[in-house]
Amino acid sequence: FNHTSTDFAAFKEIVQKNEQAKTLNWYTIKSFPVVRKQNPPYEAWAGFESMPKLNVMNPEVRDYVFSVLDFWNQDAEVAGWRLDVANEVPEPFWREFRTHLKTINPEAWIIGENWTDSSQWLKGDQWDSAMNYPFRGAVLDHIALGKTTATAFSDALMSSYLMYSPQVSANMLNSISTHDVPRFKTLAGNDSMLGNMGLVAL
């Protein structure tokens, strides 16, 4: 819920109607006309013109997002939500998001995507867990790349664990491969011995 496609109906209305669009405040528009191009005239994730950034603090956007939660809980009983680029969304929005979601399903798991220390979002009022990239970094450096000693590896794992309270650390999403990074096995040079080390090298 950080950004949408330029094909999303709310954004297409702005492209078509510019200042007269009812959805004008769903995004942060810098100038008119609104056209998709390099250095776009709207706020976009990482500057990519194909990903206009939502203004989630707009009540209409917030209500739309919450209607998405309601829809999927009713039709699919979604067990959890992985929040893309979650560290770039205002914290007040995640607090409201959590309240709404937990009202629908108190057991729903909220996982934030963040590549560094996620402590500020894991205090019980926003996310339940985060993608633990510091853990991945420690495993990658030692096992796949052979850059660290066993002692340094142990220290890095402990540092990752101690970022959070014990109950949060036990709940982190400890992946070594995701869709955002090269696969662990590729980085390890397709080393078949990884299987013998008890690792799932995806």
Which residues form the catalytic set? 84, 113
Amino acid identity of residue 163, one-letter, is M
Distance CA 42, CA 27 (A): 7
- The DSSP symbol for 24 reads G
How many other CB atoms sit within 10 Å of the CB of residue 129? 22
Contact criterion met (CB below 8 Å) for 144 and 184: yes
Q: Helix 59-76 and helix 91-104: axis angle, to 10°?
A: 30
3-state class (DSSP) for residue 100: helix
